[in-house]
Every structure is written in C-alpha cells, then in structure tokens.
Amino acid sequence: MTDALRDKIRGFILENYLFTADTKALGMDDSLLGRGIVDSTGMLEIIFFIEEQLGVKVKDEEMIPDNLDSVNRIATFVEARRKAA
Amino acid sequence: MSLVDAFTACAAADPAASALIWNNASWSYGELARARAGVSAALRGAGLARGDRVALLLRNSPQYVAALYGTLGAGGVAVALNALERSEVLARQITHSGSRLVLADPAHIEFEKLSALLAERDVRVIACATPDTTTALAQFTAAFPADDAPPAQCADNEPALLIYTSGTTGRPKAVVLSHGNLESNARAIAAYLDLTAADRAFCVLPFHFSYGNSVLTSHLTVGGALIIEDNLAFPQRSLQRMSNLRATGFAGVPSTFTLLLTRASFGDYDFSALRYATQAGGAMTRVAIARLRQELPRTRMFVMYGQTEATARISYLPPERLDTKLGSVGVPVAGTEIEICDPAGTPLPVGKVGEVRVRGPGIMLGYWEDPAATRDAIRDGWLWTGDLGHKDEEGFLYIDGRSVEMIKVGAFRVSPYEVEEAIALLPGVEEVAVGSVPDEVLGQAVKAVIVLRDGAQVDALAVKAHCRQSLATYKIPKIVEFAAQLPRTMTGKVQRMQLNN
C-alpha cells in the first residue's frame, strides 16, 4: 500500500472534517464513525471523494465499515479495487 | 394516564413482548420496566424531588429509554440533551435547566470535559454506560437495581420534558412539554398510524429530537417495539437489517430518505412487512416522494408536519390523499386546530398565505424560565409557529416558508445567532453574519460571511476548526466567505436573506 494514497485520504478527512493540516489529529486506524469524525452524510461525501478523486467506483454493497471506517481500511479497499481493475 | 402508566400497563399485559431491539441487545417490556424502576429508585435515592430536572446525555439506546421513563416515573423532569453538542453548550443547558443530576454515558466524547465543568457547579453526574452487548441489560440492572415503588402519579399539566432548540449564550431556549402534551400527542400519532402491539418501527432519528421522541413514545404507548439504529452511514446494511427484522414502520426526515435512495435501493430487499413510512422535518422533493413510492409500492406513505413547541405532530396527510394533495402536509391530528392568520390574529380566507397558528393538547407549557419568549409564541391560547402557510378549500395545509430566520440542516434547527456568536470569538473577526445555502442532501447548510479586522490572517479552515471546538458538527459552516462589509438595510440591520445564495 502506498503512503501517498494514505496521505491523500487522511488529508481529505483532516481538511473536511477536522479542519486542520495537523496529521497527529487522525490516526490511520481511527474509526471515523466511532470517533464522531464523520456522520452519515460525511460518509456519503467520502464515497464521492473515493469515486471522483481516487477513481474507484464504490458499489452499494461495498459500503460497509470494513472497507470505509478508517484511513487504512479505505486505502486497502482502494488498492484492491485498483489491482482488480 | 401518563406515558409511564401506559408503558407500565403494556409491560404488565405482555412482559415478554419485545420493546427495544438494538445491535446485539434486545430488551423486552418486562426487562425495560425493571430498568425503568431501577432508574427511578436511583434518582429518588439521590434526593430527587418532584419536578426536579434530570439531564440525559446518552446516545439512542435502550439505556436512554430506561433513563427517560425512569426520570418521569420518579416524578422528575427529563432534559433531553443533544449528544452531538460540545461540552460548553451542554454545561450551559444543564445550568440553565437547573438540573442537579445528570445521567451521562462515560464513553461520550465530551464526558471528561463536561464532568470537569459540572464539578464546579454542584451538579452530580451519574454514570450510565450504553453498551450494546448481550450482557448490557444485566450490567444496567446491576447498576440500577429496581424496587417495587409504583411510578409517581403526575398531573397532566406538570412539566415532564425539556428539549433545547437553541444554545446561544444570551438565550438558551428550552421547550417545556407536560405529561399531558406527551401522552396526548403519542396517542394521536398512534391513532392515525393505526399502531398496535404488533408494530415494530425502525428508528434512526435521535430521541432528544421531538420527532424521534414521538416515534419512541407512540410505540411504547401501544405495546409496539422499536428497532434502534445509530446512523445511516452504511445504508445498504441498514436496509438489510430493517428487512431481516421485519420492520413494520420507518420514520425519516428528508435527508434520511435521500441517504437511503442515493446509495441503496429498497427494491433489493423484502419489505413486505413494511406497513407504513413517515416523513417530517421539512419538505421532501416530489421526485424523492415519487421514487420512494415506486420502491415501496405496498407501504403507506405519511407526509407530516410538526414542531417541538407542539410536542411533535401537528398534521399528517392521509396516504390515500397523497396523489390529489401532493405538496400538502395534510389535516390536523386528533384534538388539534390549525388557523392561517394575519399578524393581528385575524383568520385569512382559503388560499391566502399567513402565519400558521395551532391550538390543542400538544401545545407546550412554554419556554423554560422565559416568560417573554413564551408570551411571544403563545398568544390567546394559540401557538404561533413562525411558519408561513395556506389552506385549500378542503382545509388541507400547505407550508410556504418560515417567517423567522432559522436554518434547517437535515431536520435540525440551527440558530444563525449561535453560529455568529461562536465565530465572533475568533481573534481577527470584526463582524460575521450567518445564513444558509441549499444542500443536496441536507436541504440547507450553514454559510458564514466574515469581515476581518485590518491585517488579520484568518482562513476558512481556521474558522471551521474554531467552530468545531464549540459547535455540534452539523452547525459548522460548510461555506465560509470573506467580505469587505456585510449586507445591511438602511437602518443598519444585517440582511441575512442576502447571504442565502
């Protein structure tokens, strides 16, 4: 998994939900919902980000916590989809 | 009869019946009744006197329900706090309500900060954990052992519940609902939805919010069950759960349905048990209503209208009139009257737009310790809603807008003053005005226009980061703009409407 991808995902979440550039504010494995960082509409925005900025289409049935509820999970999911493509 | 009496009667009639289903936990009526009695006993043991306020800081959970009914059953007045708020606002509301006791979840993100603030103010925090495991009930009853004391008997006009609609420093506003308000509105809702003990509703709406509270109380009044869901972040999974658990009802605000319809499809699952769906909390687009009806052809769709100041529900559109009255919010619930008036209180003729005023058993007692605001809202026995509307020749109500400056994000009210107050505290800000912009999912989102002091270096990110410290997430401006001056009227008043584009 590339660090550039993880940094891009973390950067998006930091800027849009934590309003900071301080990378210490979000751990790579922090639960986005559990920590109250994003809510239901925030998760929808993250899906749009993955599709538009990272170029990976998220199928409805792929919208599960295992794929989306932390920076590392999103990165793993995106990598796997890119490889499969 | 109060909500607690109605619930207790259901528990006595069928103690094994499911009351609340939540993740891995399921609480029957008998179990919830014991948990309720346990909270009542603990509060009495902590010195609670009749009419004392008890603040609840708990996420949607069976424990919240036990805490709410336990407070009412002890003769206390519950203060339903919004779990999304930050510690300073919560502390302000707890102080404003005069709560000496708080039932709070130690896992709440603001718990430590809030406890520190409250320790200085002689407020006792009783820890009430909200695990969702199979042992959650056993843990709860161990922490709150029940006794045999019957629920306190309260008069219909005694206060029962406080719901905050604004958290501004100058004027926190709490709607005071009586036992009679809660019970009558719950029964009116149960009547038009034909709710019975066989119903189980899927509820994702927060209980501290009048709509969520009404879904809860209307079902527990008739012996029905509630399936509690925390969020809709994974809509496909929520729909699957709703289908698997054979939900008979579903309650949502427009953004709930948008979330579900955008990334999931009801058509993928079996919803043959889903008898009804309700929608309130602002207007839903005709396209969304049509799509929902197409995906759920056998489900009765109720479009409704209400306000916290009227407990919850004011009107509903009977599903069989949805086609002929599209755009209407329907007719008054049982015992309630609706009039369209000019500012002097003269009823207006059919088709004319005026302010909507309402009379009936659901109208609040008033705003907590705010006689001036109460006199302003309730005049000659009528609640002036602040909404503009008109009626058609058959008496069906249509909402045409708001007469007061309030932003609705999702279905939550956001006072522009509260956001302005928060931003004004940021160094470098000379002036700020807050309005709204249209939002695809939430209906409206908050927008702030800021005039900076000369030489100040503040960017949009810094403004949002600052707001995040003191405001609930949904109140943080989505759009932050900087300007040389604010739009004003000739008399110098800021024109918030000018911001809204």
Identify the top-confidence range among A30-44, B148-162, B425-439.
B148-162
Contact yes or no for B259 and A33 at CB 8 A: no
Contact yes or no for A43 and B473 at CB 8 A: no
pLDDT digits (tens, 9 = 90+) for B125-161: 999 999 998 999 999 999 999 999 999 999 999 999 9
What are A27's two structure tokens?
């751990």
How would residue B285 be classed by pLDDT, with cut points 50, 70 and 90? confident
What are B381's two structure tokens?
């026995």
Between B194 and B88, whose confidence is greater? B194
Other CB atoms closer than 10 Å to residue B218's CB: what's the count? 28
Inter-chain contacts counted by CB atoms under 8 A, chains A and B: 60
ipTM entry: 0.88
Calculate how close chain A gets to B203, using CA atoms only, in Å. Answer: 14
Distances (CA, A) of A48 to A17, A36, A58, B176: 15, 19, 9, 41
Partners of B79 in the beta sheet? B55, B162
Question: Which of B48-52, B154-158, B186-190, B455-459 is least confident?
Answer: B455-459
Contact yes or no for B236 and A19 at CB 8 A: no
On whether the CB atoms of residues B105 and B130 are closer than 8 A, the answer is yes
pLDDT digits (tens, 9 = 90+) for B306-324: 999 999 999 999 999 999 9
Q: Strand B331-332 vs strand B313-317: parallel, antiparallel, or unpaired?
A: antiparallel
How would residue B498 be classed by pLDDT, with cut points 50, 70 and 90? confident
B38 pLDDT higher than 90: yes
CA quadruple B424, B430, B433, B439: dihedral, nearest 10? -80
pLDDT at B162 (0 to 100): 98
Calculate how close chain A gets to B278, using CA atoms only, in Å. Answer: 20
A74 pLDDT higher than 90: yes
How would residue B179 be classed by pLDDT, with cut points 50, 70 and 90? very high
In our burial notation (b when 16+ CB lie closer than 10 A, e otherwise), range B435-472 reads bbeebebbbbbbbbbbebeeeeebeebbbbbbbbebbb
What are B438's two structure tokens?
């249209």
B262 pLDDT higher than 90: no
Closest-CA residue of B relative to A63 is: B234
Contact yes or no for A60 and B233 at CB 8 A: no
B221 pLDDT higher than 90: yes
Calculate how close chain A gets to B355, using CA atoms only, in Å. Answer: 32
What are B34's two structure tokens?
């014991």
pLDDT digits (tens, 9 = 90+) for B89-109: 999 999 999 999 999 999 998
Q: pLDDT > 90: what percent of chain B?
A: 79
Rounded to 5 degrees, φ, ψ at B498 are: -65, -20
pLDDT digits (tens, 9 = 90+) for B360-403: 999 999 999 999 999 999 999 999 999 999 999 999 999 987 76
B493 pLDDT higher than 80: no
Contact yes or no for B473 and A36 at CB 8 A: yes
The residues, ordered by sequence, that sit 6+ positions from B428 with a Cβ below 8 Å of its Cβ are B452, B453, B456, B457, B458
B169 pLDDT higher than 70: no
How would residue B167 be classed by pLDDT, with cut points 50, 70 and 90? low
- What pTM does this model have? 0.92
Q: Is B2 exposed, middle or buried (0-12, 13-18, 19+ CB in 10 A)?
A: buried
Q: Which residue of B60, B111, B234, B412 is the best one to mutate when testing the A interface, meaning the one whose CB has the most A CBs within 10 A?
A: B234
How would residue A1 be classed by pLDDT, with cut points 50, 70 and 90? low
B451 pLDDT higher than 90: yes
- pLDDT, average across residues B162-189: 90
Q: Which residue of A35, A44, A57 is the best one to mutate when testing the B interface, meaning the one whose CB has the most B CBs within 10 A?
A: A44
How would residue A60 be classed by pLDDT, with cut points 50, 70 and 90? confident
pLDDT at B488 (0 to 100): 82
What are B262's two structure tokens?
């955008």
d(CA B72, CA B81): 15
pLDDT digits (tens, 9 = 90+) for B204-217: 999 999 999 999 99
Other CB atoms closer than 10 Å to residue B171's CB: what's the count? 15
Please name which of B172, B175, B55, B174 lies closest in space to residue B105, comparing C-alpha atoms.
B55
- pLDDT, average across residues B328-333: 97
How would residue B282 be classed by pLDDT, with cut points 50, 70 and 90? confident
Q: Give chain B's mean pLDDT.
A: 93
pLDDT at B501 (0 to 100): 63
Contact yes or no for B234 and A41 at CB 8 A: no
pLDDT at B500 (0 to 100): 75
- Helix axis angle, B254-263 relative to B286-295, nearest 10°? 60
Contact yes or no for B231 and A40 at CB 8 A: yes
pLDDT digits (tens, 9 = 90+) for B402-424: 767 788 898 888 989 889 989 99
Q: Does any CB of chain A come closer than 8 Å to the CB of residue B16?
A: no
